[in-house]
Amino acid sequence: MSGIPDLSALADQAIAEISSAADLEALEAARVRFVGRKAPLTELLGSIGTLPPEDRGRVGKEGNAARRAIEAALDTRHEALEAEAMGAALESDTADVTLPGNAYPLGALHPITQVRLEVEDIFLGMGYSVADGPEVETGFNNFTALNTPDGHPARSESDTFFVEGGDDVLLRTQTSPVQIRTMQQGPPPVYVIAPGTVYRRDDVDATHSPMFHQVEGLAVDEGLTFAHLKGTITYFLQRLLGDRDVRVIPHFFPFTEPSVDVSVSWTDKQGRTDWLEVAGAGMVDPNVFANVGYDPERWTGFAFGFGLDRIAMIRHQISDIRLLYEGDLRFLEQFS
Amino acid sequence: MKLPLEWLREHVATDLDDSALAERLTATGTAVERTIERGIPATGANREAFRIGKVLSAEQHPDADRLRVLSVDTGDESPRQIVCGAPNVAAGQTVAVALPGAVMPGGQKLGKAKLRGVESLGMVLSASELELAEESEGIMVLADDLAAGTPVLDVLPPPGTILELELTPNRGDCQGIYGIAREVHAITGAPLHQLDTALPPEDGAGQVGDYVSLRVDAPDLCPRYMARVLLDVRVGPSPEWMVRRLEAAGMRSINNVVDITNYVMLLTAQPLHAFDLDRLAGPGIVVRRALDGETITTLDGQDRTLSADHLVIADTEKPAVIAGIFGAEFAEVSEGTTRVLLEAATFDGPSIIRTSLGLGLRTESSARFEKGQPADLPPVAMAIACRLMHELAGASLVPGALDEQAAVDGPAPITLRHARVATILGTDISADEAAGILERLGCTVQPGDDAHVVTVPWWRTADLLREIDLIEEVGRVHGLDRIPAVLPRLEAHAALTPEQQVVRRLSRYAADQGLSEAITYRFVPDHDADRLGLPSDDERRKVVRITNALSDEMAVMRRSLVPGLLRAVERNQAHQRRDGGIFEVGRTYVPGNDGLADEPEEITALMFGAPGARGWRQSPAEVDVWAATGLAIALAGAVGVEAQAIAGLRQPWMHPVRQARITAGGIVVGVAGELHPAVLRDFGVRGPVAALTLMVRELVKVRPADPRRYTDLISVPVSTRDLALLIPDTVTAAHVLDVAREAGGHLVRGAEVFDHYAGDQVPDGRVSLAIRLTIAEPGRTLTDDEIDGVTQRAVAALGDQVGAELRS
């Protein structure tokens, strides 16, 4: 049969050319040449009616197959070239990724606040509530009800700030009066901690501040013993300060008996391990229960207290307490 | 308190070595603060290496003016050659010698030496080298009856270990060495030697009453006063052993009589006072309150003025001692004294403390009296002191004692229930063990099946009064470290209160916006109110005032957090900090009744300069009123409170018109705005500074209590309509939005400003304001007519109510 091109060869040639088209422009030229309106294949398929009837079926079938194959090759090549072009464009769009990204602000909670929140969370997890009381407090709640009678040196003008216009009204010297207030509010069981600001009449220096922070803890229930005090304080200190040894040694506080000093093992920068005193604790003195109307025969309990400033200073190796109260952003922003 | 262990061990025969003893003391509540080792280490090698020597000859060193070459007999076969630089060395002396190999105090080992070419086979020692004295001039010359070769450790026992103890205030009985000996007996079971309290022969002439009279006018302040008279006293130096013990315990030797009073005080915890009887007027002792304005010249040469608050021991004319604290010059024992009145008394502890604080005088004596002394202690100390006076000062004791004593009840027996011990301590301690502990502490125990009946010894009557006191003793001696640690099983449930939650969220949010939290002193200067420009009748001038403030800078409790934070900003600016944000959450103090206060909490934030995130392509703007209102509203939003900034507030410390009230739920929850330049100037702060305060209680009050309900604005179309308005510049944006919302009715889900402009193309007196209304109804699709109706109503109302016109 003459006059009818070899369609399969035509397709092969077209596909080969398309596949090697270097760019979208060359590809378009190939499209026009092979399947454009004036392309031989297009014209052939458009003139099928002029062919002898016996050829029409075959040419139509083969011609359409060739066209589909060519068009598929065009699509494939088009996608490949587009991807290539996008790749090239992206490659040239360089950036110094080490330049700072967009800046976002990040301030800091005060280190004392951070320690306080941790302490609160540990005790909340154990079922304790967080209690609170006024800082301008009565001498009764701050001292008398806690077994520190009138005339005790701690109640003197040299140790305690007093408030004008009140009879023995003072700035609380400890968070312990919150114990009294909590117990006066209702019957046991009581499981509370009371973080707060306290005041003592100390001149400001590297280790003293007339205002500082404490946390008081109080548990009153049936069957609470010194063993529970030891368990609670040990668990708490290990959660807060890491897995250290905790030691209790007998001490004296007016409102607990027995009373203990609590220390944790601590290794300093020189590698020496020593005991670091961090808290005071004890079994609530029966007199304190009597002062708030609890029956000391039925209820027992323990109390503990420690300084947040001290813990924050130990944790962050801060050697001067004044830094905590100066509002110096160079200091504060280190704790974000 | 300093505890020389050598002295302690004389009274209690413990097997524990020094460090084990220190550990046991600490573990049972007598805290050992520090261990001081003194003198030559008492090892076997040092027994050989430190010897008594006899200086046989002392020749001039051939090449050194100041050195002598000695030949010393140290008990070896032949004398040894020693080079010595001491100026006082001489042939014929008996001295202490360290041989090569000796380990000196401090640990260094002595070797052979060559001094200027001459070999030295040892060292002749001074008292300070043996740590027997603080300082010494030249070598120590010893008594000639000591044989050459005798170990120095045998004849000059080292002062040894001294423990520095921190005593708890309830243990007045441990303020004497013998009290610690009793304690060591209790905690180790080591045998305790009884104190010898026998008086020396009462061989003085006559009776005590022949020599002196006694009148106690203030028995409330002096429960017991006891005095004895000693004759033929020979004042002179104390023996070496006593000097060394006094020094080891931290006191200096004065003369034998004064030293005896100090020695007995250190031993028994009972301070004593020795008077020169011949210098006392009368002679008579009157224990009385001082007269107001009465003066005394104390031993340190100072004239002190007394008042009726002070107790004195006077003669018939004038005060001779500030009772229990310090003596007067005139009545002191001196070289010429031959007749001594010796006092042993007890005084009211709180009175001693008041006097001691008031006069600024704290002595070894007053420190012991502060705790109050048991009434049975004076005779014990008196007997020991009299015997030492007899032995060391040759004194004759006059028969009889003056002894005025207020009646005291003996200690009541205490019932100790066995079950109660376990209830408190949480561990089983047998009734037998408890009884044993209490008996070692000096108690008398009548054992019982359910309880012991316990009588405490006279030296513990002040602190062992109740069953719980005994339980503490049992636990303490048994060992609190042996009690197991058990975590209680709680059935309590806990949550933070709304206030606590709000405070946490506010702080966290503020910090996350780049501000840092400060804690400033809550006592502030009085003049903060002036600096804030508060009018003279302003309620906020009422403050909680401290009567004994440390300084004017800490005179009153704050009513606002602004001044404290301004001072912080000032300090930050002082070291070239240009931009920053700082906040504080804390209380203010509003005076109430009876001196008490209401203590509302607030958060205050100050931003200065252009704070915020800064980068190579972003830079924050300088703060202004909107920085403050924006953060205030965001903070409120962070705790669930939808707040608004409302104009018209006039706080004197803020810019008069660039400040806003922050309101929510119909109440004021805070303020925000720029600080007044005059306030900044007075605090030394450079502007601009934007500030905001939110009040915690108010936020909690308007915070929605219930969980917010979901509104379906997802399955229905939500339309927005923008209105470009020209409004009079006297009308606030908040008002425009309110009018638009109200007119639009419930279909308006939101109204917000998205552009604000004044200037070119806007007529004078007018502002261009663009607002966007969000219009929808949950669950229903609105028709175009409904939506248009909303905007039409809004535009109409804005025209009527605020004179707004729609821009074309």
Neighbours of B341 (CB within 10 A): 28
CB contact under 8 A, B518 and A327: yes
Give the residue among B318, B348, B99, B398 at the shortest CA–CA distance from B218: B348
Complete edge-to-edge strand list for the sheet that includes strand B213-216: B213-216, B284-289, B311-314, B319-322, B326-327
pLDDT computed for residue A3 by the predictor: 61
Helix (H, G, I), strand (E, B) or coil at B75: coil
Report yes or no: A60 at the B interface, CB cutoff 8 Å.
no
pLDDT computed for residue B47 by the predictor: 86
Cα torsion B414, B415, B421, B424 to 10°: value is -70
pLDDT computed for residue B42 by the predictor: 76
Q: How many A×B Cβ pairs under 8 Å? A: 274
Indicate the pairing of strand B402-405 with strand B224-231. Answer: antiparallel
Low-confidence ranges of chain B (pLDDT < 50): none
Q: What tokens appear for A88 in the block? A: 């090239």
Tell me the shortest Cα–Cα distance from B30 to chain A, in angstroms.
8
Cβ contacts (< 8 Å) between A224 and chain B: which residues?
488
- pLDDT confidence bin for A151, thresholds 50/70/90: confident
pLDDT computed for residue B808 by the predictor: 67
Cβ contacts (< 8 Å) between B424 and chain A: which residues?
225-226, 258, 283, 300
Cis peptide before B271 (omega within 30 of 0): no
**d(Cα B144, Cα B458) in Å, to the nearest integer?**
47
**d(Cα A205, Cα B612) in Å, to the nearest integer?**
34
Among the partner residues A127, A203, A283, nearest to B494 by beta-carbon distance: A127
Per residue in B384-401, pLDDT (tens digit) is: 999 999 999 999 999 999
Q: Which amino acid is at A20?
A: S
pLDDT computed for residue A1 by the predictor: 44
Residue in chain A closest to B589 (alpha carbons) equals A136
Q: Contact B478/A258 with Cβ under 8 angstroms? A: no
Dihedral angle sign, alpha carbons of residues B3, B9, B15, B17: positive
Cβ contacts (< 8 Å) between A113 and chain B: which residues?
507, 517, 519
Dihedral angle sign, alpha carbons of residues A290, A291, A293, A299: negative
Dihedral angle sign, alpha carbons of residues B187, B169, A234, A230: positive
Q: Contact A283/B474 with Cβ under 8 angstroms? A: no
pLDDT average, residue stretch A218-240? 96
Cβ contacts (< 8 Å) between B488 and chain A: which residues?
219, 221, 224, 228, 231-232
**Average pLDDT along chain A:** 92
Report yes or no: B638 at the A interface, CB cutoff 8 Å.
no
**d(Cα B306, Cα B359) in Å, to the nearest integer?**
9
The number of helix segments (H) and strand segments (E) in chain A equals 11, 9
Residue B87 DSSP label: T
Among the partner residues A124, A164, A324, nearest to B545 by beta-carbon distance: A164
CB contact under 8 A, A107 and B491: no
Report yes or no: A227 at the B interface, CB cutoff 8 Å.
yes
Q: What tokens appear for B537 in the block? A: 């009748």
Q: In what helix (H) or strand (E) does residue A125 lie, and over which residues does it extend?
A: helix A111-125
Per residue in A170-213, pLDDT (tens digit) is: 999 999 999 999 999 999 999 999 999 999 999 999 999 999 99
**d(Cα A308, Cα A41) in Å, to the nearest integer?**
90
Give the residue among A300, A308, A131, A304 at the shortest CA–CA distance from A223: A300
Tell me the shortest Cα–Cα distance from B286 to chain A, in angstroms.
26
Helix (H, G, I), strand (E, B) or coil at B386: helix
Residue in chain A closest to B472 (alpha carbons) equals A258
Q: Which of residues 408-427 of B touch A (CB under 8 A)?
A: 422-427
Residue in chain B closest to A120 (alpha carbons) equals B496
CB contact under 8 A, A227 and B613: no
Among the partner residues B515, B557, B618, nearest to A103 by beta-carbon distance: B618
**d(Cα A151, Cα B611) in Å, to the nearest integer?**
53
Report yes or no: A249 at the B interface, CB cutoff 8 Å.
yes
Report yes or no: B485 at the A interface, CB cutoff 8 Å.
yes
Q: Which of residues 71-100 of A touch B (CB under 8 A)?
A: 99-100
CB contact under 8 A, A134 and B597: yes
Q: Contact B587/B522 with Cβ under 8 angstroms? A: yes
**What is the Cβ-side half-sphere exposure of residue B807, based on CA atoms within 13 angstroms?**
16
ipTM over 0.95: no
Among the partner residues A108, A129, A161, nearest to B546 by beta-carbon distance: A161
Report yes or no: A274 at the B interface, CB cutoff 8 Å.
no
